């Protein structure tokens, strides 16, 4: 009897080894297709940094993935909508995507308040959601849930990178100017904490109206602040950031030794204002197209398709789409709980995310981040060549440590 058991066991093992594992073969699709929804700003202030070109990046990822691994048993549809950066609209659209269009996953979603609204919908309807362009750490803290992942960056990463490095290397005294709404307040808190952790001091911080077209008041304050400040930390984004930097140059603060550190900077911002305006500015970024050969190759293909060089949001959307499809393959199904299980704890490295790990506990995707500097006009060698990578912040240090996470799933 015992021998029989061994024989049967051996036979089962042999079959298991010889027969292809389900993940290598057929993927079962619950409704015969995969629907990927991109929800972002298609007309407002964040259009250029993500918007319709991110939808194109997702298309590109699906095409590349199917070319490499073969077609899925059903079509992969890509749908998109404009949430106009409004949380209520984002919530309605997300529900429509999940319920009416059967979306398997929602991607992108800039603007923190809108991003949090979509996380609620994902949690309630038990469908996947990978956020790329929103900055709030709440997605992986108070508002974390089983179906929500945060992919590219967050305010902790930005503040930790820039504030720590700049305080250590350039100067200890900071003056922070931030737009007075959720994102700006979040950034101010994160920067202040990181500055104080690394021995610096925040002399003053001012919350400004939003939107605002004149910042001269704060620039004059910066000149006359005592004791002398070294770093002006600016948390504005989009058009307000452009206004700020134009006026910073006008008041000649750079020649007074006041360095400019920017909370969140996209390649599209530098492109809009011209490299000379941002010259010397320091900031933290999850990716830049000039990073290395692999990134450049991808950026070249992206340029050929869209006529623009990608921001990190575009690259992040591509990478996240790829990781989702690869998780579906590993799980052998598009069933949400199985895909979540395949994503959790997964480690990978692609052109966008290096040394990446999708943390099981809070769904923060950690990966290397970079401290970057905007080049001087004389250093620019080709169109869109605006950025120099100064140093790499290893994945393990770049993001909020798990011990500090408030996530209770």
Partner 1 sequence: MENLLLQVFNGLVNGAFFALLSLGLAVIFGMLRVVNFMHGALYMLGAFATYLLGTSAGVSFWWALVLAPLAVAAVGIVLERLFLRRLYDVDPLYNLLLTFGLTLVLQDTMRLRFGIQGVPYSAPSLLKGAIVWGNLLFPTYRLFVLGFSVLICLLTWWVIEWTRVGMIVRAATENPGLTRALGIDVDRWVPPVFAFGVALAALAGVLAAPMRNVSPLMGADLIVTTFAIVVIGGLGSILGSVVTGFLVGVIVALGAVYYPPVSNTLVFVLMAIILLLRPAGLFGSLE
377 interacts with partner 1 by CB under 8 A: no
Specify the residue, 205 or 355, whose C-beta has the smaller distance to partner 1: 205
Specify the residue, 263 or 332, whose C-beta has the smaller distance to partner 1: 263
44 interacts with partner 1 by CB under 8 A: yes
Specify the residue, 212 or 355, whose C-beta has the smaller distance to partner 1: 212
306 interacts with partner 1 by CB under 8 A: no
212 interacts with partner 1 by CB under 8 A: yes
**Measured CA angle at 190 (ends 185, 194), to 5 deg:** 150
**Piece in contact with partner 1 (CB under 8 A), picked from 247-255, 290-298, 340-348, 374-382:** 247-255
Q: Which of 71, 168, 169, 223 binds partner 1 (CB under 8 A)?
A: 223
Q: Token pair for residue 121?
A: 């919908």
Start-to-end CA distance of the chain, whole Å, equals 47
> Which string of x and - marks every residue 141-160 that binds partner 1 (by CB under 8 A)?
--------------------
Residue 286 · residue 393 · CB < 8 Å: no
Rounded Cα distance, 365 and 346, in Å:
9
Q: Which of 79, 251, 254, 373 binds partner 1 (CB under 8 A)?
A: 251
**Measured CA angle at 116 (ends 111, 121), to 5 deg:** 125
**Piece in contact with partner 1 (CB under 8 A), picked from 17-25, 41-49, 54-62, 336-344:** 41-49
247 interacts with partner 1 by CB under 8 A: yes
**Piece in contact with partner 1 (CB under 8 A), picked from 44-52, 287-295, 327-335, 343-351:** 44-52
213 interacts with partner 1 by CB under 8 A: yes
Residue 262 · residue 289 · CB < 8 Å: no
384 interacts with partner 1 by CB under 8 A: no
Q: Which of 224, 304, 347, 381 binds partner 1 (CB under 8 A)?
A: 224
408 interacts with partner 1 by CB under 8 A: no
Residues 267-296 within binding reach of partner 1 (CB under 8 A): 268-269, 271-274, 276-277
DSSP for 157-217 reads HHHHHHHHHHHHHT-SEEEEEEESSHHHHHHHHHHHHHHHHTT-EEEEEEEEPSS-S--HH
Minimum gap (Å) between residue 276 Cβ and partner 1: 8
Per DSSP, 24 falls in state G
Rounded Cα distance, 49 and 64, in Å:
22
Specify the residue, 25 or 377, whose C-beta has the smaller distance to partner 1: 377
246 interacts with partner 1 by CB under 8 A: yes
State the Rg of the chain over Cα. Answer: 23
Indicate if the alpha-carbon torsion angle 41, 42, 44, 45 is positive or negative. Answer: positive
Minimum gap (Å) between residue 180 Cβ and partner 1: 6
Closest-CA residue to 146 (of 124, 167, 131): 124
Specify the residue, 30 or 180, whose C-beta has the smaller distance to partner 1: 180
Rounded Cα distance, 183 and 187, in Å:
6
Rounded Cα distance, 28 and 66, in Å:
16
208 interacts with partner 1 by CB under 8 A: yes
Minimum gap (Å) between residue 265 Cβ and partner 1: 13
**ω before 232 within 30° of 0 (cis)?**
no
185 interacts with partner 1 by CB under 8 A: no
Per DSSP, 146 falls in state T
Minimum gap (Å) between residue 204 Cβ and partner 1: 11
Ranges assigned E (strand) in 228-288: 231-234, 259-262, 282-285
Minimum gap (Å) between residue 43 Cβ and partner 1: 7
Q: Binding residues for partner 1, per CB under 8 A? A: 43-45, 47-49, 180, 206-209, 211-214, 216-218, 220-221, 223-224, 238-240, 242-243, 246-247, 250-252, 268-269, 271-274, 276-277
């Amino acid at each position: 009897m015992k021998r029989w058991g061994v024989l049967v066991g051996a036979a089962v093992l042999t079959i298991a080894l010889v027969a292809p594992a389900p993940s290598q073969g057929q993927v079962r699709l619950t409704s015969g297709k995969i629907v990927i929804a991109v929800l972002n700003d298609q007309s407002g202030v964040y259009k250029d940094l993500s918007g319709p070109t991110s939808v194109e990046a997702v298309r590109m990822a699906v095409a590349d993935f199917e070319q490499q691994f073969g077609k899925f048993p059903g079509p992969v549809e890509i749908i998109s909508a404009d949430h106009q950066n409004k949380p209520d609209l984002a919530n309605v659209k997300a529900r429509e995507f999940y319920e009416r269009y059967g979306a398997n996953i929602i991607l992108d979603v800039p603007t923190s308040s809108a991003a949090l609204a979509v996380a609620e919908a994902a949690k309630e309807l038990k469908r996947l959601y990978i956020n790329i362009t929103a900055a709030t750490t709440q997605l992986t803290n108070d508002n974390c849930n089983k179906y929500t992942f945060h992919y590219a960056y967050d305010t902790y990463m930005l503040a930790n990178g820039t504030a720590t490095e700049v305080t250590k290397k350039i100067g200890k005294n900071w003056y922070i100017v931030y737009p007075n709404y959720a994102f700006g307040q979040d950034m101010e808190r994160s920067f202040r904490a990181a500055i104080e952790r690394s021995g610096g001091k925040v002399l003053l911080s001012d919350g400004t109206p939003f939107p605002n077209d004149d910042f001269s008041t704060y620039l004059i304050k910066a000149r006359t602040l005592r004791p002398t400040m070294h770093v002006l930390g600016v948390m504005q984004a989009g058009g307000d950031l452009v206004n700020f930097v134009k006026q910073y140059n006008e008041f000649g603060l750079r020649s007074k030794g006041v360095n400019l550190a920017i909370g969140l900077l996209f390649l599209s911002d530098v492109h809009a204002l011209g490299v000379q305006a941002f010259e010397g500015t320091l900031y933290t970024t999850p990716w830049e197209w000039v990073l290395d050969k692999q990134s450049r190759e991808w950026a070249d293909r992206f340029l050929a398709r869209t006529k623009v060089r990608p921001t990190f949001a575009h690259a992040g959307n591509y990478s996240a789409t790829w990781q989702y499809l690869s998780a579906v393959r590993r799980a052998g199904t598009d069933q949400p709980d199985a895909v979540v299980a395949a994503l959790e704890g997964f480690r990978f490295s692609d052109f966008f995310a290096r040394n990446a790990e999708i943390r099981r506990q809070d769904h923060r995707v950690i990966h290397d981040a970079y401290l970057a500097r905007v080049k001087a006009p004389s250093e620019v060698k080709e169109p869109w060549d605006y950025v120099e990578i100064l140093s790499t912040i290893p994945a393990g240090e770049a993001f909020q440590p798990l011990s500090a996470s408030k996530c209770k799933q």
